[in-house]
Structure 1
Amino acid sequence: MKSAGAGDTRVRLIEAATKLLWERSYHSTSVDDLCAVAGARKGSLYHFFPSKVDLAVAAIRWSWEEARRDVFEPVFRSKVSGLSQLQRLASRTAALQKAALEAGGHVLGCPFGSLGQEMAHQDERVREAVQEVFDGHCAYIEAALRRAADAGEIEDGDMRQRARAIFALLEGAFLLAKVANDPRVLKELASAIPVLAKRSR
């Protein structure tokens, strides 16, 4: 059985990776940086994670579980309409980016999208982990679209395709907001969500 201290060290390393990979990038974050933020030794890092990539993959999955718990589940389990759920998702993500701007002076964008862009062609494990997150994100959007169709808000159709289009809009909005360093871009582009949701094809 692992001691509580060992478990705490592992969690601290994952939390450090989650923070630094979002604020910086994979290649701009060294093992020394990770250990310093986590308050851990290199030996501890390599005890829990054979490589920096393994820690990054763990951080991706940890971050997604946090996002599901804190953002996606509250938004998509709410009793409002499907379209309102999608608008709430956009508003919630814009609020998180605003908080990042106020805390550190920068809009950080989507942690999964940023890491995926950087690492998709460099490590298959990272690419697969990010793809799993993207698929999960799209599944929530698709469920909201089906809810909207069942309620007569939108016409039935290829909901998976529409979900991917809305997800692409949100990821693009993250990038534009990051470059502009302005979270309002997310809210402005979110106005296009109903248009994409109501497409007949």
Structure 2
Amino acid sequence: MDTRERLIESARELLWERGYVGTSPKAIQARSGVGQGSMYHHFAGKSDLALAAIDRSAEELRARADAAFAGPGTAMDRITAYFRLEREVLKGCPIGGLTQDPDVMADPRLRRPVEETFTWLTDRLAELLAEASNDRVNARATATALVAVLQGGYVLARAAGSVDVHTRAIDGALGLLAGYVASPQLCREGHLSGIRRP
């Protein structure tokens, strides 16, 4: 890994662990083994390096999601594969956690990749939900709810100190979703709330 990559990866780890304020230039230099002169050769300052680190985390999240969404099986299989991805739950989401950081949210440049990532994820899930349900459900609203469950699951799991809480949240969301798309007859009869009648 070259110097620039070490700086970005170190900043990513520290942002995830400590947030923006706790990610000082000295901490980044100590974690990366890169001196101050080299750091400022590659980045104008902490904000520029943080932006590169957040962009990298966002790219990684999208790449992992895309791999699951492009996998084999039905649309429901691919949605399930995404929600069942291995995650470091007790560390929280490296992107979602930034929404709790007032310094990141107050800076439009740092906030942008966070907002764009969640918009992208919601859009991709909505596309798959429309495919899975043949437009029997409000795909956009349901996708938003699923992203909220995933992110809220991190919060509940961290509060409880247990990964099991996150797993239960995902199990519950997927179970509810399966009810929406599994039975065309139920959907036609409107037995499930939120179903669009044909």
TM-score, normalised via structure 1 length: 0.80
113, 123, 139: which one aligns with 2:123: 139
| 1:192 Cα deviation from its structure 2 partner | 3.0
**1:188 maps to what in 2?**
168
| 1:157 Cα deviation from its structure 2 partner | 3.9
Matched, 1:19 2:13: yes
| 1:40 Cα deviation from its structure 2 partner | 0.9
**2:95 maps to what in 1?**
112
60, 63, 86: which one aligns with 1:66: 60
Contact 2:55 2:113 in 1 (8 A): yes
Higher relative contact order (CA 8 A, sep 6+): 1
84, 93, 107: which one aligns with 2:77: 84
One-letter amino acid of the structure 2 residue matched with residue 200 of structure 1: I
| 1:196 Cα deviation from its structure 2 partner | 5.1
Unmatched 5+ residue regions in structure 2? Answer: 181-193
**1:101 maps to what in 2?**
none
TM-score, normalised via structure 2 length: 0.81
One-letter amino acid of the structure 1 residue matched with residue 145 of structure 2: A
| 1:11 Cα deviation from its structure 2 partner | 0.9
The CA RMSD over aligned residues, in Å, is 2.1
CA distance in structure 2 between the aligned counterparts of 1:140 and 1:177, rounded to whole angstroms:
25
Moved runs in structure 1, 4+ residues, more than 3 A? none
**1:97 maps to what in 2?**
88
CA distance in structure 2 between the aligned counterparts of 1:36 and 1:180, rounded to whole angstroms:
32
| 1:51 Cα deviation from its structure 2 partner | 2.1
| 1:61 Cα deviation from its structure 2 partner | 1.2
| 1:183 Cα deviation from its structure 2 partner | 1.6
Overall identity of the aligned pairs, in %: 34
CA distance in structure 2 between the aligned counterparts of 1:190 and 1:61, rounded to whole angstroms:
26
